[in-house]
Amino acid sequence: MKKFFGVLCLCFCCVLMLSGCGVSGGSSIVAIRFERQIYYVDENCDTKIDYKVYPSTADNFATTFQSSSEDYFTLNGEGIINVENFFSSVKLTVQAGNKTDECYVVKKIYPSSVYLTHPCLENKKPNSTDSLVLTKGASTAVTMFGEFGARFNQESGKTEVISNADERLQIVDENIFKFEVVSSDPSIVNVPDPSKLQISSGSRTGDCVVSVFLVDDNGQRKQGAGGDIYASINVSVIEPVAKMRIFYKIGEGHLREITDANFSTITNTGTSAVKVDFYIMLVDENGGVIESESALNSIIATAFPDKDFKPIENRPTETISCVATPKCYNDDGNVKFGVKVCKASFNLYSSSKDRLVFSCKFVQGENQKQISSLIYL
């Protein structure tokens, strides 16, 4: 009870102090602040330079703007600026009474090239065959990267060339740039808000292309050396995955299915490796096989070698190694499934404590479980 009474007294004192300072009300202005330190603008587009006065009830003031330059832009008394082609940047000062604040107005510097990616693609530039995979009921945001030749330096107040090539590749900031997002088939991939980079699965499965165009503040598509500045990404939507079925074949032996988490121990006392082929099948909630090549190609295999393995003379120093990246597999040779699966091949040198984890790198719905399989070798 004493603690509660003490807190109540403290709150009451704070209210009295703020009231005494004139922050919570009154007609006298205490401070004026721009809402941003830097306003990025497009040429021939009206942009409102917003500011706030404190307290919000203040009314006995007049606002004026001053600028460090008057070249290549117009600014009216309401804080609306419009810049021309040769404009670069300017420092603005807003004044109300004896209260002031400063900000920069900078013309946007657009990238010369862009690409779309996603954490499931390790934020790398995808090639023409790579796809972002979503299960039905999932939503996510893509990321745009761009190649920039210059940037604004707030410390110097100038636009500077980026001389270091490694620094030119940057995220295209949603707080600076505007987008127009388009789906080639909204029934497969939906775009809830064309100005945002968020996408979601549609009503049916399949493959489509999502394109993102850079637009100015008036919604007009920006042009680069080769036309519109835009990038596209392949997106595949599949049924929710319920489980993996994993089959294996040792050397030229028979094909077997792993029915539990334990995999038969391979004893290898020779100096050469034992090759094991794994075949991974994706199964949906109704028991149907998911044959999307994009989904199958998104399966990754992670090997955890025996940490206690001690190499001996004439034996390899590693215990397990991947022969090839897991890839969608069509029937060939002696192994025929009749459906598409993912194939991953490994060389095993020792098997006492090795582990393999197969997992899927795609975006799943909020209530859908992550699919992976741990195999003890």
Residues 268-282 pLDDT 10s: 555 567 788 889 999
pLDDT of residue 26: 76
The DSSP code for 29 is: -
pLDDT of residue 334: 65
Q: Name 27's Cβ contacts closer than 8 Å, sequence gap at least 6.
A: 57, 58, 59, 60
* Region at 314 (left for phi over 0; alpha for psi -120 to 50; beta for the rest): left
Look up the CATH number of domain 113-238: 2.60.40.1080
CA distance 13 to 146: 52
The segments of the chain whose pLDDT lies below 70 read 1-25, 260-272, 305-324, 331-334, 349-353, 376-377
Closest by CA to 243, choosing from 262, 265, 260, is 260
CA distance 375 to 54: 63
pLDDT of residue 21: 46
Whether domain 27-107 has CATH 3.40.50.150: the reply is no
What is this structure's pTM? 0.83
Closest by CA to 148, choosing from 122, 171, 178, is 171
- Which residue reads 């270091």 in tokens? 164
CA distance 374 to 339: 23
Per-domain boundaries in the chain: 27-107, 113-238, 241-376
Whether domain 241-376 has CATH 2.40.128: the reply is no
DSSP output for 253-308: S--EE--SSB-PPPP--SSSPEEEEEEEEEEETTS-EE--HHHHHTEEEEEE--TT
The first and second tokens of residue 262, run together, are 């334990």
CA distance 6 to 226: 68
Partnered with residue 195 across adjacent β-strands are none
pLDDT of residue 309: 54
Domains 27-107 and 113-238 agree in fold: yes
